Amino acid sequence: MLAPVTRVPLRQALADLPPYVPGGRAPVGAAAFKLSSNENPYPPLPSVVAAIVDAAADVNRYPDMYATELSEAIAASLGVAPETIVTGCGSVAVLGHVLAAVCESGDEVVVPWRSFEAYPIAISLAGATGVRVPLAPGGRLDLEAMAAAVTPRTRVVLVCTPNNPTGPAVHADELATFLAAVPGDVLVVLDEAYVEFVRDPDVPDGLAVFADHPNVVVLRTFSKAYGLAGLRVGFAVARPRLAAGIRAASTPFGVSHAGQLAALASLRATSELLARVDRIVGQRTRLLDGLRAQGWEVADSQANFVWLPLGEAATGFAERSARAGVIVRPFAGDGVRVSVGEPEAVDLFLEIAEAAHAR
């Protein structure tokens, strides 16, 4: 028998952590569209499945620790040097390694809020202190206020663009003004998890911003546009000295062999996968237009989700939506995020939203 009680203390940071709430899942056997985790509704391409099957034969071996071939392929696809690429077990893990590489205990990390719920967790676990800057109207990042929140203790500013869960992306002019105001020894992380879904011409390419600013790191992922959420592959693009530091702080062998081969196969199928992204963007337009036609006030979205600022009605709305066959992600007291899914899912969600608006 195990003695039931342990006296080993846990870190205070853990007690203070907000929990990461995963998007809801359909009950076993129930037919429902899962629009709660910003996943890609399309299954993997046959060529990607074949790569995963190939990798299965090698799972008695550790993967290539530095994902050399994948890093080189990513670098070639982006037009950067391979030593600037650091892969990890999803870009959420890479963010943790970035913070572990640059933050001392008690350092400040400026974050927009509301934004990606993984940020406060990663910041606390790094022993740093999050400084939350409220969003501007329309769910946009308030970059002016974020620059003003930088103090001598600030080591990192997180810029989520497009912002999860609200949708808008930062514009080139506001980002340029922001970067001019932030000291060069403060790291600016551009989290571009949804960059492939951006269609607004005023939104800059993070890699061009990275090229001009040595204190900028770009985070990207294979989870969303490339549809590999289940295999956990993300990466950072950073100046070589920073990249080496992030690598040193990384979990060894973080990206599985299957993940590496699947990501490589996905890069080889980029045009096919980006054609799917185009279809999702088309459904996003249909969803936004449909909601606005029903009288909803919805912010712009440059990502694969839409935000309904429902306030106190958020949780009840999400429950009714799930009963009607669409699982969305509520943020209690604030709003509901609904991912852009297959056309049938958008149709059904529009019916649910219309009924809710009429209530």
Ligand X SMILES: *Cc1c(COP(=O)(O)O)cnc(C)c1O
Residues that bind ligand X (CB under 6 A): 38, 90-92, 116, 160, 164, 191, 193, 221, 223-224, 229, 234
Closest separation between CB of residue 75 and ligand X, Å? 18
Determine the residue type at 312: E
Closest separation between CB of residue 229 and ligand X, Å? 5
Our CB check for ligand X shows the closer of 164 and 260 to be 164
Closest separation between CB of residue 305 and ligand X, Å? 9
Our CB check for ligand X shows the closer of 223 and 352 to be 223
Q: In Å, what is the CA distance from 28 to each residue of 24, 74, 153, 319?
A: 12, 37, 48, 17
Cβ neighbours of 279 (radius 10 Å): 14
Closest separation between CB of residue 105 and ligand X, Å? 24
**What is the separation of C-alpha 171 from the centre of its chain, rounded to a whole number of angstroms?**
18
Closest separation between CB of residue 193 and ligand X, Å? 4
Locus of tokens 């997180």: 158
Closest separation between CB of residue 213 and ligand X, Å? 20
Closest separation between CB of residue 224 and ligand X, Å? 6
Our CB check for ligand X shows the closer of 63 and 290 to be 63
Give me 218's structure tokens: 């770009």
| Nearest alpha-carbon partner for 261 in 227, 306, 231 | 231
Our CB check for ligand X shows the closer of 160 and 310 to be 160
Q: Which residue is nearest to ligand X (CB)?
A: 90
Closest separation between CB of residue 92 and ligand X, Å? 3
